[in-house]
């Protein structure tokens, strides 16, 4: 049986409204898998591209909307960074790839941070 990656195991421990929820980590016939919550929406990359194709009021995305989305991404990143181990010590998890294609925006404008595949745990786990 394959052991889930450190990143997947850590990400599964993050419980925050702005981080994609990992429902299950497992192994099926020797193939590891991750089951994540389904988010009805688009990536920020897709949203920005749509805005460039049909800008409203001369802006691809209103500054208030952009700031709202960025604040949510920061809140998700902060939650990941504040993740604690069983002894209450922070892992110091750093996402390292917060880009528009790793941010899902649902139909209500809520942001979910995705893909901790290149995250780095600075403390609490083997490097």
End-to-end CA distance of the chain: 22
Residues 27, 97, 106, 115: which is the catalytic one?
97
Sequence-separated (6 or more) residues with CB below 8 Å from residue 106: 39, 40, 41, 112
Instruction: Give 13-38 pLDDT, tens digit per residue.
Output: 999 999 999 999 888 998 888 899 99
Question: Is residue 97 annotated as a catalytic residue, yes or no?
Answer: yes
- The verdict on pTM exceeding 0.85 is no
Instruction: Walk along the chain (127 residues) in steps of 10 and give the mean pLDDT of each run.
Output: 64 92 90 90 92 64 91 94 90 84 95 75 50
Q: How far apart are CA 58 and CA 26, in angstroms?
A: 48
Q: How far apart are CA 61 and CA 70, in angstroms?
A: 12
């Amino acid at each position: 049986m394959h052991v889930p990656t450190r990143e997947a195991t850590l990400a599964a421990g993050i419980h925050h409204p702005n981080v994609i929820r990992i429902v299950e980590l497992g192994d099926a016939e020797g193939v590891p898998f991750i089951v994540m919550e389904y988010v009805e929406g688009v990536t920020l990359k897709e949203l920005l591209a749509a805005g460039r194709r049909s800008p409203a009021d001369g802006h691809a995305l209103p500054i208030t909307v952009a700031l709202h989305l960025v604040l949510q991404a920061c809140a998700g990143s902060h939650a990941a960074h504040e993740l604690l181990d069983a002894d209450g010590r922070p892992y110091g998890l750093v996402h390292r790839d917060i880009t528009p294609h790793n941010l899902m925006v649902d139909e209500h404008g809520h942001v979910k941070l995705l893909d901790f595949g290149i995250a780095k745990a600075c403390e609490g786990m083997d490097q």
